[in-house]
Amino acid sequence: MLLRHTPTEITERSALVINPAKTCQPVGAMYAALGIEGCLPHSHGSQGCCSYHRSALTRHYKEPVMAATSSFTEGSSVFGGQANLLQAINNIFTVYNPDVIAVHTTCLSETIGDDVPQIAEKARQEGKVPAGKYVINASTPSYVGSHVTGFSNMCLGMVKGLAVKTGKKNGKVNIIPGFVEPSDMEEIKRLAAEIGVPITLFPDTSGVLNGPLTGKFRMFPKAGTPVEALKGVGEAIGTLAMGEWASADAARYLDSEFKVPCRVLDLPIGLAATDRFIDALRKIAGVAVPEKIEFERGQLVDMISDQHQYFYGKKVALAGDPDQLIALTEFLVSMDMLPIHIVTGTPGKKFEGRIRELTKDMGRPVNVRGPGDMFLLHQWIKNEPVDLLIGNTYMKYIARDEDIPLVRHGFPILDRVGHSYFPTVGYKGGLRLAEKILSALLDRKDRDSPESSFELTL
Ligand code: SF4
């Protein structure tokens, strides 16, 4: 294994990333765009970028991912990609007839300086965009930010490109769910429905990237946020943005341009963050929390307190996206676990401060870096070993090298299934996450226990 050579001694690096804890912006933009009903994502760049982004999503969701590309050649790299994009828009509407084309840029088209909004407007003026169809766009240069930034930029692109100012309120609440699984989006919708809050969830990949096998291919699954609903997001009574990194920009834009007040919440992963989400929904609806939700909450509290002895004092190292890591850290601390090494590849000044605030009562120092990489995380682990790893599939190299159990969470998960079907948000999601953590710890305990303490029951 290559990671066997990771040195324990840490050298500060400023110009070298090793084993990044992120992927590139257009992956997130493409994922967000797939959450619009009848939308074809379009990658304005070379074919290689588009193939990579599609395959990154397909390998995680185990579903085919449709997207078009401007197919840059040497000529477009020198003279710009306007001609390619104009032709692509014409071809796509003629051949595939989507409701929306969601164009995101790539490193190459950003470096050339292509003005995609101008090109889209030109396409409209030349009659290449049929009536009732839309071209939206997001600027997603991959040399800044990460897949999370790309997701956020495309959410902003949806609002800028589709929201309509009418001056009337529609009585709905916008929920921007963040870069979470289709199963999480489904769960957020279920919770809102249980409480009785009419919502527009955008984007919504549930049913798109975790759909059933029907034997029939549909280019555009009958799922995702309908265009009509997106046109109405400026008429909502409020917006709940789940996660500062993935959702806040679109919510703040709606606030400033459409006077739709927004609240930025943490992702509802774990007990406290879900409490805050449910409380926000309850206040908007002006209702008491339904008994069914109280029941689910009680189940999570029961499980955590029953198994507390196994969670207590266990050291954890985590890598992933900032919104997820903040919520996970709070959840782990609430179970008396010790998240001591935490790395995200996504930049953002507030990250380290939030983690330090959440861990300040743990009574011990915490290593946190954003942006950092998995090489640094591995070095921290070598200096102070942990009982558990939480992160994406790439963490399995560290898990194997250091012989530490791994709970897969985040993006991408390439070597397991389940994430797109079972949520980790909400109380039920918290149960699943706690169960996965517990199983990983107990499997290790069973493996390592001498016969004298090899327990049959918990
Ligand atoms: S990092 Fe840039 S060049 Fe590489 S796949 Fe992503 S967009 Fe394309």
For 396-418, the pLDDT digits (tens) are 999 999 999 999 999 999 999 99
Pocket test of ligand 1: the residue of 25, 106, 108 to mutate, having most ligand atoms within 8 Å of its CB, is 106
CA gap 239, 251 in Å, rounded: 6
Gyration radius from the chain CA atoms: 23
Closest atom of ligand 1 to CA, residue 108: 3
According to DSSP, residue 98 is labeled -
In the chain, domain spans: 25-162, 173-211+218-291, 295-453
CA gap 378, 117 in Å, rounded: 43
* Cα 457 to ligand 1 centre (Å): 50
Instruction: Please indicate whether residue 177, judged by its CB atom, sits closer than 6 Å to ligand 1.
Output: no
Which tokens is 269 given? 């992963």
CA gap 411, 416 in Å, rounded: 12
Which fold does the domain 295-453 belong to in CATH?
Rossmann fold (3.40.50)
Tell me how crowded residue 275 is: count the other CB atoms within 10 A of its CB. Answer: 14
147 with 411: CB under 8 angstroms? yes
Pocket test of ligand 1: the residue of 49, 72, 109, 148 to mutate, having most ligand atoms within 8 Å of its CB, is 49
* Terminal C-alpha separation, the chain: 35
Closest atom of ligand 1 to CA, residue 106: 7
Nearest alpha carbon, ligand 1 atom 5: 49
Instruction: Please indicate whether residue 52, judged by its CB atom, sits closer than 6 Å to ligand 1.
Output: yes
Closest atom of ligand 1 to CA, residue 27: 6
Instruction: Give the right CATH number for 173-211+218-291 from 3.40.50.1980, 3.90.1640.10, 3.40.930.10, 3.30.450.20.
Output: 3.40.50.1980
Per-residue DSSP letters for 312-368? TT-EEEEEE-HHHHHHHHHHHHHTT-EEEEEEESS--THHHHHHHHHHGGGSS--EE
CA gap 26, 42 in Å, rounded: 10
Nearest alpha carbon, ligand 1 atom 4: 49
Pocket test of ligand 1: the residue of 50, 112, 142 to mutate, having most ligand atoms within 8 Å of its CB, is 142
Beta bridge partners of 241: 176, 264
Burial of 360 (0-12, 13-18, 19+ CB in 10 A): exposed
Q: How far is CA 68 from CA 71, 408, 430, in A?
A: 9, 30, 37
Nearest alpha carbon, ligand 1 atom 2: 107
- The predicted pLDDT at position 330 comes to 98
Q: How far is CA 146 from CA 75, 174, 269, in A?
A: 28, 24, 21
- The predicted pLDDT at position 1 comes to 57
Instruction: Please indicate whether residue 107, judged by its CB atom, sits closer than 6 Å to ligand 1.
Output: yes
| 267-290 per-position pLDDT tens digit | 999 999 999 999 999 998 888 999
Name the stretches of the chain with pLDDT < 50. none
Task: Find how far residue 109's CA is from the centre of its chain.
Answer: 24
Q: Do the domains spanning 173-211+218-291 and 295-453 agree at the CATH topology level?
A: yes
Nearest alpha carbon, ligand 1 atom 7: 106
Closest atom of ligand 1 to CA, residue 46: 8
| Top CATH class, 25-162 | alpha beta
